[in-house]
């Protein structure tokens, strides 16, 4: 494994080239000044849009500002991600963020203005200027919110309350990121030291069970201690969401969350019900864990340790890239050629270096190209991360190439499809080419664990969110006891009787930041299921599905996400894609137990 002490040591070809956005800081500054001037011009439209021509001028100018701001912000962000300690990059990001606030303030009048129009007035504007055809779908989509918008005075009041309403989320963020002190664990020399999050994820994979137990108990110490405070922030966040839904005349908080992307409620209900009707394979998986690990009682700290050991192998970056290209060959020649070009043209920042932002992401910049951040570690996880992020990058590439700016971005609901299709094709390729039975078992274990985390756990979270919001809507109390009782019940239900619950297990709700972004996590599971359905059909040689999938990658947000997926043959309003995904999991468990 390559360990780099500084960015200078990393080969040039493994660093992204930010000159593709701005060859110099002077050019960044020029665009920054240009946006400031244009933002002032946007502000002057407030109260001055009287006809179709005015409306077009405003929207056209706003799109130019958005495009330029995208470049300015992304350049600043990516410069900072290279080394988070670098003060110049930090000041650029700060400046860009302040500019974003100015743009928001200058354009904040527009939505209330638009929704204050009669439909007939909007239609007359559209007739007056044919150039508005480009913006038509977006205008009508915004107009859907009309029945959920309040009077101007009430809207202003709500906007002033914005900071107060987001307070529970910010408070939890401060508790969870700044204030929490985990318990202590024993290091190699027998000394006690405070547990960190980074240490925790590593220790959960440790073969020494006593180390896992010690880390698990230390990790939950602050969450148990602070259960009442955290319950108060979560309860407030849920109640705020429920109150806003009522104030805006939505039937429920869930339907308010689904409204924006026109996701039918049955998609959410289907996901939960179909999963709960097919939990048998999940129970077999926990039984299998218990059996393979040879423990009398399976505990929560036994759920992350690999079931197959001693077969890890180094996969250098060059080899990982070639393996990925071979695995994704079923997606066609053009897909592979673009992936090769992305590597050669330095769209990817590969190596972990001091101060570099952790994790991995893809950022698709319209009119330029995608930028992919990795912290490649030459192992199997890094190979999967590479395939995952390049799936996002290809989605960005195709959508940006084939869509105008207004519909080039894709929604979270479909975002995980492109990345997971790549992972399913990769695991299929690796299993087909496994050098030994033991390595095949190792791969099956890797995929089963990923399946559990991305699908089953997220569905369980989705049900927890639904039930807690329903309780708030019915005026029932939401406190630490209520959250713990519900969480414990669901945790047992989704994992089966082979798992023996511990006192700490029921406080799992206290550590999940996603619960402050209501009804978000279910999209990981729906995206995962849709991707499995598509990948399996592509692997079976279904040319029509392949063609439709590539068309989907090119479609950005040109239609609502459910409709885009239907064009690939996946209908998430029916239980079928969920059943297909669950039957694949059953096959994985079955094969692993036979091996």
Residue closest to 330 by CA, chosen among 537, 94, 585, 495: 537
Q: Positive or negative, the Cα torsion across 452, 350, 78, 397? A: negative
Give the contacts of 19 (CB within 8 A, at least 6 positions apart). none
Distance CA 393, CA 388 (A): 9
Tell me if residue 213 is catalytic: no
Residue closest to 58 by CA, chosen among 367, 50, 34, 140: 50
Distance CA 253, CA 247 (A): 11
Residue 363 parent element (H or E): strand 361-364
Instruction: Write out the two tokens for 342.
Output: 């992305």
Task: Say how many C-beta atoms besides its own lie within 10 A of residue 141's C-beta.
Answer: 13
Query: Phi and psi of 555, rounded to 5°?
Result: -100, -5
Instruction: Write out the two tokens for 287.
Output: 């039984």
Residue 319 parent element (H or E): helix 317-327
Task: Say how many C-beta atoms besides its own lie within 10 A of residue 352's C-beta.
Answer: 17
Query: Phi and psi of 11, rounded to 5°?
Result: -55, 145
Residues 237/239/241/247 CA torsion (nearest 10 deg): -150
Distance CA 260, CA 64 (A): 24
From the candidates 14, 62, 214, 389, give the one annotated as an active-site residue.
Answer: 389
Residues 521/525/528/532 CA torsion (nearest 10 deg): -170
Q: Is 77 in contact with 27 (CB distance < 8 Å)? A: no
b/e per residue 113-136 (b: at least 16 CB within 10 A): bbbebeeeebeebbeebeebebbe
Q: Positive or negative, the Cα torsion across 319, 322, 328, 330? A: negative
DSSP string, 108-144: TTHHHHHHTS-HHHHHHHHHH-GGGGGGHHHHHHHHG
Distance CA 324, CA 316 (A): 12
Active site residues: 389
């Amino acid at each position: 494994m390559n360990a780099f002490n500084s960015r200078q040591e990393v080969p040039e070809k493994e660093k992204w080239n930010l000159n593709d956005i701005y060859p110099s800081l002077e050019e960044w500054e020029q665009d920054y000044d240009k946006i400031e001037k244009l933002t002032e011009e946007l502000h002057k439209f407030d109260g001055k849009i009287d006809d179709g021509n005015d409306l077009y001028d405003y929207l056209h100018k706003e799109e130019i500002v958005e495009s330029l701001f995208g470049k300015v912000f992304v350049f600043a962000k990516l410069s900072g991600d290279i080394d988070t300690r670098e003060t110049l990059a930090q000041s650029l990001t700060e400046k860009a963020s302040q500019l974003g606030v100015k743009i928001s303030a200058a354009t904040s009048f527009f939505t209330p203005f638009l929704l204050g129009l009669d439909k007939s007035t909007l239609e007359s504007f559209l007739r007056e200027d044919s150039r508005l055809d480009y913006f038509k779908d977006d205008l009508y989509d915004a107009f859907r919110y009309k029945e959920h918008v309040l009077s101007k005075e009430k809207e202003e009041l709500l906007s002033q309350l914005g900071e107060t309403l987001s307070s529970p989320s910010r408070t939890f963020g401060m508790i969870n990121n700044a204030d929490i002190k985990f318990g202590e664990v024993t290091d190699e020399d027998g000394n006690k030291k405070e547990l960190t999050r980074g240490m925790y994820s590593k220790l959960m994979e440790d073969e020494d069970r006593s180390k896992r137990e010690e880390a698990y108990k230390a990790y939950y110490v602050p969450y148990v201690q602070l259960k009442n405070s955290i319950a108060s922030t979560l309860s407030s966040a849920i109640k705020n969401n429920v109150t806003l839904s009522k104030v805006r005349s939505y039937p429920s908080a869930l339907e308010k969350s689904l409204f924006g992307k026109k996701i039918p409620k049955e998609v959410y209900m289907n996901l939960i019900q179909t999963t709960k009707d097919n939990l048998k394979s999940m129970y077999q998986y926990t039984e299998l864990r218990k059996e393979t690990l040879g423990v009398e009682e399976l505990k929560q700290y036994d759920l992350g340790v690999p079931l197959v050991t001693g077969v890890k192998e180094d996969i250098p970056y060059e080899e990982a890239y070639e393996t990925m290209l071979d695995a994704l060959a079923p997606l066609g020649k053009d897909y592979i050629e673009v992936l090769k070009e992305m590597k050669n043209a330095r769209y990817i920042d590969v190596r972990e270096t001091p101060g570099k932002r952790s994790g991995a992401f893809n950022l698709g910049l319209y009119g330029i190209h995608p930028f992919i951040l990795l912290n490649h570690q030459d192992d199997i996880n890094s190979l999967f991360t590479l395939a995952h992020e390049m799936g996002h990058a290809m989605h960005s590439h195709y959508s940006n190439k084939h869509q105008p700016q207004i519909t080039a971005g894709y929604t979270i609901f479909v975002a995980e499809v492109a990345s997971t299709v790549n992972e399913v094709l990769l695991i299929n390729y690796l299993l087909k080419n496994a050098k030994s039975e033991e390595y095949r078992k190792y791969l099956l274990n890797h995929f089963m664990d990923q399946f559990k985390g991305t699908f089953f756990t997220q569905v369980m979270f989705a049900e927890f969110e639904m039930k807690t919001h329903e309780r708030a809507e019915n005026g029932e109390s939401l406190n630490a006891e209520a959250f713990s009782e519900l969480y414990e019940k669901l945790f047992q239900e989704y994992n089966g009787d082979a798992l023996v619950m511990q006192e700490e297990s029921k406080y799992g709700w206290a550590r999940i930041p996603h619960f402050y972004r209501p009804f978000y996590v279910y999209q990981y599971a729906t995206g995962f299921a849709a991707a499995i359905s598509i990948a399996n059909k592509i692997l079976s040689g279904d040319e029509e599905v392949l063609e439709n999938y590539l068309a989907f990658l090119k479609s950005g947000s040109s239609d609502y996400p459910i409709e885009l997926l239907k064009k690939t043959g996946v209908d998430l309003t029916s239980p079928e894609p969920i059943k297909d995904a669950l039957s694949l999991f059953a096959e994985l468990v079955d094969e692993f137990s036979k091996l």
